[in-house]
Amino acid sequence: MGFGVSKDVIEEIRSRCDIVDLIGSFVPLKRSGTNTYKGLCPFHQEKTPSFHVDASRQMYHCFGCGKGGDVFRFYMDKENVGFSDALHMLASRVGVVIPENSGENSDPAEGRRRADARERLYRVNEDFCCFFERTLLGNPDSPPTQYLIKRGIPRDVAEKFRIGAAPDAWTACLEYGLSLGYTEEELVASGIVRRKEETGRLFDHFKGRLTFAITNEQGRVVGFSARSLEAKPPAGKYINTPESPVFKKGNLLYALPLARKMMVEKNMAILCEGQLDTIAFHRAGFECAVAPQGTGFTEGQARILKRYANRIFLAFDADSAGQKAILRAVELLLPLSMEIKVIRIPGGKDPDELFRNGGPDAVAAAVDDAIPWLDVLVASLPERYDM
C-alpha cells in the first residue's frame, strides 16, 4: 500500500470499527428498518433527515448532499484529515496497533517489534500525564499549583488541557516508572528520565516543573513541555521532551485536537507563541488556537493548519523575536494560498495577560482589529534597510 500499511491491517481496522457507533458519536441516529439508521446530515444544514447509515454494508449516504462512503471516508470528511491520519485515529479508537513499515515487502516481525516499542512510549507518556496531574492537584500549596492560581487558571481548565506538575525530586519519576514495570531504557527513550553522559546517572528530566501535555493529531499524549518556576533556571524557562519515535516537535501543534472543530467551522486558526497564550484564547471563546513548541514554526505544521482552515491569525509577541517569527511563518504559509492576519496585543502584552486583565471582550477586540501581514512587513523595513 502507498501508505505503508498492509491491506490486512486496514481491513482489521475497518472490521473492528462499527460505522453506526462511529457516526453515532458525532450525530444522533435513529433506527429506520432492520439494518438502517437515519439522522440529520453532519455535512450540510437540513431539517428533515436524509442521512442514511446501512449497518449491514457498513456504509453511509446522504440523499441531500450526496456524500457517502465507509468509516474511513466519514472520518476523513468529518475531521478534515487525510487517509493516513484517519487510519491511525481509527486504529487508536478500536485498539489496533499499526506495525511500522507494514508494507507488502517489509519484515513483519521487525515491524511488530517497532510498533510495540512505539506503543509502550505512548503508554509511558499517558501514565506520566496522569501522574503529573495527580501531583499538581494533590499538592495545593506547591509552587506549580500556586503559579496556576496566580495566573488565574482554574482547576477545570487545568484538567481540560491536562496540566500537571513533576515532583521536585531527582528520581521520583524514575522510581514511579520502574514501579509500573517500565525499564530504564524505556523511561530514557520517552524523555521522562535523562542519563548524564559523564557518569551514566539517571535523573528526572522535568523535576519540579509545571507540565503541559503535548498530544499528537490523534489526541494521544506524546510528550511534555515543562515550565520552570525558578527565577533563573539553568536549563531554560521551558524544556521539551526530546525527539523520540512518537515526539516529532516539528509535526506537533499544542491543543490541536481541541481546536480543529472550530477551525473547520470558522475557517480560521490562531497561531500563538506558547501554551498559556493558547489556553487564554480558548477561554475567551476562540477554541481554534494552537501553538508550536516555541516560535520554531515549520512547513509541516503549516500544512497541518491548511487541512483545517484557510485563514490564519498570528498572535506572536511584539518584540523583535516575535516579529521575526511572524515573517518566518508568513514565508511558510503564503505558498499554501492562505489568508494571513496579525493580531496585535495592546500595550505589548501577551494574549494571556490581555485575557486576565480584560476578559473575553478584550481578546475578541484584538482579533477583530487584526491587520494584514503585509502591514507588519512594511513596518519592519526601516529597521532593516536605509529607506
Are the C-beta atoms of residues 26 and 32 closer than 8 Å to each other? Answer: no
CA distances (Å), origin 233, targets 113, 208, 236, 237, 289 = 39, 11, 5, 6, 28
Average confidence (pLDDT) over 309-314: 94
pLDDT of residue 144: 95
Q: Check residue 100 and give its pLDDT.
A: 66
| Mean pLDDT comparison of 304-308, 317-321, 349-353, highest-scoring range | 349-353
pLDDT of residue 363: 96
* Secondary structure string (H, E, C) spanning the chain: CCCCCCHHHHHHHHHHCCHHHHHHCCCCCEECCCCEEEECCCCCCCCCCCEEEECCCCEEEECCCCCEECHHHHHHHHHCCCHHHHHHHHHHHHCCCCCCCCCCCCCHHHHHHHHHHHHHHHHHHHHHHHHHHHHHHCCCCCHHHHHHHHCCCCHHHHHHCCEEECCCCCCHHHHHHHHCCCCHHHHHHHCCEEECCCCCCEEECCCCCEEEEEECCCCCEEEEEEECCCCCCCCCCEEECCCCCCCCHHHCCECHHHHHHHHHHHCEEEEECCHHHHHHHHHCCCCCEEECCCCCCCHHHHHHHHHHCCEEEEECCCCHHHHHHHHHHHHHHHHHCCEEEECCCHHHCCHHHHHHHHHHHHHHHHHHCCEEHHHHHHHHHHHHCCC
Say if domain 256-384 classifies as CATH 3.40.1360.10: yes
Does domain 108-247 bear CATH number 3.90.980.10?
yes
Residue 4's pLDDT is 66
- 108-247 shares the fold of 7-94: no
Q: What is the pLDDT of residues 71-86, one digit of tens each?
A: 999 999 988 888 988 9
Cell numbers linked to 127? 501514565
- How do the domains of the chain map onto residue ranges? 7-94, 108-247, 256-384
Confidence grade of residue 55 (pLDDT, cut at 50, 70, 90): confident
List the CATH code of the domain at 7-94: 3.90.580.10
Mean pLDDT of the chain: 90
The model's pLDDT over 173-203, given as tens digits with 9 standing for 90+, comes to: 999 999 999 999 999 999 999 999 899 999 9
pLDDT winner (highest mean) among 44-58, 155-169, 311-325: 155-169
- pLDDT band of residue 101 (cuts 50, 70, 90) is low
pLDDT in tens, 368-382: 999 999 998 888 777
